[in-house]
């Protein structure tokens, strides 16, 4: 992932947090089969009963930064509950609130990931 893309993702994270509220996770997972990134988003403000609206808000922020490149770089937006095991495992493993952390060939619970870029990863503080 190049620096320009990382910078754009940071802007998106800041915009979402300023308009909607804190993110627990914003990550991009590389899908080698389609040569694109999946966007994973987890936050308390994501509501499964109004999922289309929440995806629209997230998409609008991505569109502002990536414009026509969105379809070339990303395969889709996948909202996740803050209680999903994958979200809890990744946020407990790595905390990221500034900058971008990139990992290759890791296993998170039952999920094998070839490449992941973490933009925001906040563990639950007890």
Q: Taking residues 117-125, what's their average pLDDT?
A: 87
97, pLDDT greater than 90: no
Residue 126 in domain: no
pTM for the structure as a whole? 0.91
pLDDT tens-digit readout, 44-74? 999 888 888 999 999 999 999 998 888 889 9
CB-based contacts of 106-112 (< 8 A; 24+ apart in sequence):
109/85, 111/86
Give the domain extent around 102: 3-121
Q: Is residue 32 domain-resident?
A: yes
The number of domains in the chain is 1
Does 51 fall in a domain? yes
Position 66 in a domain: yes
């Amino acid at each position: 992932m190049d620096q320009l893309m990382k910078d754009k993702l940071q802007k998106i994270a800041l915009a979402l947090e300023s308009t909607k509220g804190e993110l627990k996770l914003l990550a991009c997972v590389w899908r080698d089969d389609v040569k694109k990134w999946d966007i994973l988003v987890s936050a308390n403000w994501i509501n499964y009963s109004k999922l289309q609206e929440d995806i629209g808000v997230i998409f609008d922020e991505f569109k502002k930064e990536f414009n026509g490149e969105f379809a070339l770089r990303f395969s889709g937006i996948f909202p996740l509950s803050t209680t999903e095991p994958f979200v809890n495992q990744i946020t407990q493993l790595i905390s990221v609130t500034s900058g971008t952390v990139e990992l290759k060939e890791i296993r998170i619970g039952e999920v094998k990931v070839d490449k992941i870029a973490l933009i925001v990863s906040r563990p639950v503080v007890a």
